[in-house]
Amino acid sequence: MNRAMGLALALGLLASGSAGAADTIKIGLMAPMTGSWASEGQEMKRNIDLLAEQANAKGGLDGKKIEVIIEDDGGDPRTASLAAQRLTTKGVVAVIGTYGSAVTEATQNIYDEAGITQVANGSTAVRLTEKGLKHFFRTCPRDDEQGKVGAAAIQKMGAKRIALLHDSSAYAKGLADEINAILKANKQNVVFFDALTPKEQDYSAILTKLKAATPDVVFFTGYYPEAGLLLKQKKQMGWNVPFMGGDAINNPDLVKIAGKDAAAGFQFLSPPVPKDLDTPEAKAYLASYKKKYGEEPGSIYGVLAGDGFTAVTKAIAATKSTDADKIRDYLVNKLKDFPGLTGKLAFNAKGDRVGELYRVYKVDKNGEFVLQPK
Partner 1 sequence: MEQFLQQLINGLAVGGIYALIALGYTMVYGVLKLINFAHGDLFTYGGYLGLTLLTSLALQGRVGTAAAVALLVLMVMGLVGVMGVVLERAAYRPLRESPRLSAVVSALGASIFLQNALMLLYGARVQVYPEGLLPQVAVSLFGLQVPLLRILVVLASVVMMAALYLFVQKTKIGTAVRAAAIDQGAARLMGIDVNKVVSLVFLIGPALGGVAGLLVGLYYGQVNFTMGWIYGMKAFTAAILGGIGNIPGAMVGGLLLGVIEALGAAYLSIAWKDAIAFCVLILILIVRPTGLLGERVAEKV
Residues 126-185 that bind partner 1 (CB under 8 A): 168
For 287, phi and psi rounded to 5 degrees?
-65, -45
- As to burial, measured by CB atoms within 10 angstroms (0-12 exposed, 13-18 middle, 19+ buried), residue 87 is buried
Task: List CB contacts of 93: < 8 A, sequence separation 6 or more.
Answer: 25, 26, 27, 116, 117, 316, 322, 324, 327
E strands, 92-172, are 94-96, 117-120, 136-138, 161-166
| Minimum gap (Å) between residue 168 Cβ and partner 1 | 6
| Minimum gap (Å) between residue 347 Cβ and partner 1 | 31
371 binds partner 1 (CB under 8 A): no
- In the set 8, 9, 11, 205, which binds partner 1 (CB under 8 A)? 205
What's the rounded Cα separation, in Å, for the pair 207 and 240?
12
228 binds partner 1 (CB under 8 A): yes
237 binds partner 1 (CB under 8 A): yes
91 binds partner 1 (CB under 8 A): no
- In the set 24, 39, 279, 321, which binds partner 1 (CB under 8 A)? 39
195 binds partner 1 (CB under 8 A): yes
- What is the separation, in whole angstroms, between the first and last Cα of the chain? 72
SS (HEC) of 43-89: HHHHHHHHHHHHHHHCCCECCEEEEEEEEECCCCHHHHHHHHHHHHC
Question: Do residues 353 and 346 lie in contact, with contact meaning Cβ atoms separated by under 8 Å?
Answer: yes
Give the DSSP per-residue string, 16-50. HHHHHGGGEEEEEEEE--SSTTHHHHHHHHHHHHH
- Which one of 85-93, 134-142, 223-231, 365-373 is the stretch in contact with partner 1 (CB under 8 A)? 223-231
| Minimum gap (Å) between residue 161 Cβ and partner 1 | 17
Beta bridge partners of 269: 360
- Which one of 141-149, 250-258, 311-319, 328-336 is the stretch in contact with partner 1 (CB under 8 A)? 250-258
Identify which of residues 5 and 212 has a Cβ nearer to partner 1 in the complex. Answer: 212
Beta bridge partners of 189: 161
Site size with partner 1, rule: CB under 8 A? 33
263 binds partner 1 (CB under 8 A): no
Identify which of residues 208 and 372 has a Cβ nearer to partner 1 in the complex. Answer: 208
- What single-letter amino acid sits at 291? K
256 binds partner 1 (CB under 8 A): yes
367 binds partner 1 (CB under 8 A): no
Identify which of residues 196 and 217 has a Cβ nearer to partner 1 in the complex. Answer: 196
Nearest Cα to 67, choosing from 119, 123, 27, 23?
27
| Minimum gap (Å) between residue 83 Cβ and partner 1 | 16
- In the set 179, 196, 227, 327, which binds partner 1 (CB under 8 A)? 196
280 binds partner 1 (CB under 8 A): no
295 binds partner 1 (CB under 8 A): no
Binding site for partner 1 (CB under 8 A): 34-36, 38-39, 41-42, 168, 194-197, 199-202, 204-206, 208-209, 212, 225, 228-229, 232, 236-238, 253, 256-257, 259
